[in-house]
């Protein structure tokens, strides 16, 4: 089978959630013996040099990076207030990308063209014109739900009004787009259920997968547990969640655990966080080896208030045998049993009490970490997930779908 992936950013290097999710699919398809071609957006915000991608990866995927200017332009953003078009999506429309896509489709016949994220849907018409391939949307999130949650948490009224406008236009686009593809591979069951509610397009949930053998767990805890968070801070829900934890929860946590220290790692740490002086915060920033950072810590705190899809860093922490404390939003998309595979702490009182309980009972954290690792082996093994995706490909057929024209 020949599969073309259109990606909103390069799957390699896989340093943050989106590329990690895309790269797991690429790896799984290649391992299963299929041909993969990647055409990816390259932006200033997430810029990759083709020379930094290993030659073996380039040969196997034929990866091409097309420069697209995704910068937010104030005048265009203002004009969008008077438009029904989604500014989130419009920024991904590129003549250079479209022209190269046409050349790729003319050169080879593909069985599947997979759109990695909603933001590749503007190219559905081009694919329909130049290919008979079935089109599958790999929905990493229900995108507009992220912005609905962010809008609700925005206090400045003018900013909230603008975000509400962005959310409305994005929602309209998303509900239209899901009716133009031949299949939807959502990343969670909850997201899949949402799409089924609004369209008749065949839909399946295909979560993020890992190779368990690549994650050597470390269960033992020496002394008191070390609490950590790791995640890219240029994803707004991550920064929002950390702000909530520091501003609303930290004082209550320290009241119960006076020697509490929260170790924060990840790319693109904001200046306000790097400059914060607090003995209970250890702002590490980007680390050379994320797995090793996690191995050297014990309990993940993932205080998400908004977002959709699956939390890749939670899955990876679980694969490494770590206890995860998170919110209901953070746990969305993970097939867990509460207090068995992870712990839910929905407010500052529960967060503080949970951290106290784990701090005083490291053996409990070890047991939860072991159960979490077993869950990953049972459900989130990338070979099993890829097999489900390939079966889904075989069950859907290209059809005369409506387009955006």
| 130-155 mean pLDDT | 90
pLDDT band at residue 398, thresholds of 50, 70 and 90?
A: low
pLDDT band at residue 401, thresholds of 50, 70 and 90?
A: low
| 135-151 mean pLDDT | 90
Residue in 108, 3, 14 with CA at minimum distance from that of residue 60? 3
Dihedral (CA of 144, 147, 153, 158) sign: negative
Who contacts 272 (Cβ-Cβ below 8 Å, separation ≥6)?
none
- pTM listed for this prediction: 0.82
pLDDT per residue as tens digits for the range 243-255: 999 999 999 999 9
Tell me the backbone φ, ψ of residue 365, rounded to 5 degrees. Answer: -60, -40
Spatial separation of the C-alpha atoms in residues 16 and 12, rounded to whole Å: 10
| 52-59 mean pLDDT | 96
Residue 253 Cα to chain centre, angstroms: 28
Residue in 386, 387, 313, 391 with CA at minimum distance from that of residue 27? 386
pLDDT per residue as tens digits for the range 2-11: 999 999 999 9
Classify residue 394 as exposed, middle or buried by CB count within 10 Å of its CB (0-12, 13-18, 19+): exposed
- C-alpha distance from residue 227 to each of 16, 160, 354, 363, 374 (Å): 20, 33, 12, 15, 22
Q: Which residue has the higher pLDDT, 83 or 254?
A: 254
pLDDT for the residue 273? 92
| 48 pLDDT higher than 80 | yes
Helix (H, G, I), strand (E, B) or coil at 135: strand
| 268-285 mean pLDDT | 93
Residue in 300, 325, 323 with CA at minimum distance from that of residue 373? 323
pLDDT per residue as tens digits for the range 301-325: 999 887 666 788 899 999 999 999 9
Return the DSSP state at 7: E
Helix (H, G, I), strand (E, B) or coil at 184: strand
Kindly report which listed range (98-102, 157-161, 177-181, 396-400) carries the lowest average pLDDT score.
Answer: 396-400
pLDDT band at residue 232, thresholds of 50, 70 and 90?
A: confident
Residue in 113, 40, 99, 49 with CA at minimum distance from that of residue 70? 40
Q: Which residue has the higher pLDDT, 71 or 307?
A: 71
Helix (H, G, I), strand (E, B) or coil at 228: strand
| 400 pLDDT higher than 70 | no
Classify residue 391 as exposed, middle or buried by CB count within 10 Å of its CB (0-12, 13-18, 19+): exposed
pLDDT for the residue 405? 44
Q: Report the b/e string of 309-336 with b at 16+ CB within 10 A.
A: bbbbbbbbbbbbbbbbbbbebbbbbbeb
Residue-averaged pLDDT of the chain: 93
| 76 pLDDT higher than 50 | yes
298: left (phi over 0), alpha (psi -120 to 50) or beta: alpha
Query: What residue ranges define each of the domains in the chain, with the CATH number in brackets?
Result: 2-209+382-395 (3.40.50.2000), 212-379 (3.40.50.2000)
**CB count in 10 Å sphere of residue 210:** 22
pLDDT over 70 percentage in the chain: 97
pLDDT for the residue 399? 60
Paired with 112 in beta bridges are 3, 134
Q: Which helix (H) or strand (E) holds 274?
A: helix 271-274
> Greatest CA span in the chain, whole angstroms?
65
Contact 225, 365 (CB under 8 A): yes
Spatial separation of the C-alpha atoms in residues 164 and 144, rounded to whole Å: 10
pLDDT for the residue 307? 66
Cis check for the bond before 165: say yes or no (omega within 30 of 0).
no
pLDDT per residue as tens digits for the range 91-110: 999 999 999 999 999 999 99
Q: Which ranges of 299-361 does DSSP label H, i.e. alpha helix?
A: 312-319, 328-331, 348-360
pLDDT band at residue 79, thresholds of 50, 70 and 90?
A: confident
Residue 359 Cα to chain centre, angstroms: 29
Who contacts 168 (Cβ-Cβ below 8 Å, separation ≥6)?
none
Contact 379, 335 (CB under 8 A): yes
Return the DSSP state at 173: H
């Amino acid at each position: 089978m020949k599969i073309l992936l259109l990606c909103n950013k390069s799957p390699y290097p896989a340093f943050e959630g989106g590329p990690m999710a895309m790269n797991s699919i690429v790896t799984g398809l290649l391992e299963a013996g299929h041909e993969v071609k990647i055409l990816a957006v390259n932006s200033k915000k997430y810029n990759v040099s083709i020379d930094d991608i290993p030659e073996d990866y380039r040969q196997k995927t034929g990866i091409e990076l097309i420069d697209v200017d995704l910068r937010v332009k104030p005048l265009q953003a203002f004009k969008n207030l008077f438009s029904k078009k989604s500014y989130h999506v419009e920024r991904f429309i590129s003549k250079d990308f479209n022209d190269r896509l046409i050349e790729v489709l003319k050169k080879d016949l593909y069985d599947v063209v997979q759109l990695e994220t909603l933001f590749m849907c503007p190219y559905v018409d081009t694919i329909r014109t130049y290919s008979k391939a079935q089109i599958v949307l790999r929905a990493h999130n229900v995108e507009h739900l992220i912005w609905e949650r962010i809008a609700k948490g925005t206090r400045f009224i003018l900013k909230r009004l603008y975000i509400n406008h962005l959310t409305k236009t994005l929602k309209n686009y998303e509900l239209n787009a899901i009716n133009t593809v031949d299949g939807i591979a959502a990343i969670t069951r909850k997201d899949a259920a949402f799409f089924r509610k609004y369209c008749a397009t065949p839909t399946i949930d295909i979560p993020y997968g890992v190779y368990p053998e690549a994650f050597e767990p470390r269960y033992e805890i020496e002394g008191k547990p070390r609490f950590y968070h790791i995640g890219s801070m240029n994803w707004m829900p991550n920064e929002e969640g950390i702000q909530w934890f520091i501003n609303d929860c930290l004082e209550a946590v320290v009241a119960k655990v006076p020697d509490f220290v929260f170790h924060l790692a990840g790319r693109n740490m904001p200046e306000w966080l790097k400059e914060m002086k607090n003995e209970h915060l250890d702002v590490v920033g980007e680390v050379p080896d994320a797995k090793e950072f996690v191995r050297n810590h014990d309990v993940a705190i993932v205080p998400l208030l908004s977002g959709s899809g699956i939390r890749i860093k939670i899955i990876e922490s679980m694969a490494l045998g770590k206890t995860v404390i998170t919110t209901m939003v953070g746990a969305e998309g993970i097939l867990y049993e509460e207090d068995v595979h992870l712990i839910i702490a929905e407010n500052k009182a529960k967060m503080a009490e949970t951290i106290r309980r784990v701090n005083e009972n490291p053996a409990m954290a070890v047991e939860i970490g072991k159960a979490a690792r077993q869950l990953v082996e049972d459900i989130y093994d990338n070979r099993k997930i890829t097999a489900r995706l390939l079966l889904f490909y075989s069950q859907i057929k290209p059809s005369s779908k409506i387009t955006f024209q």
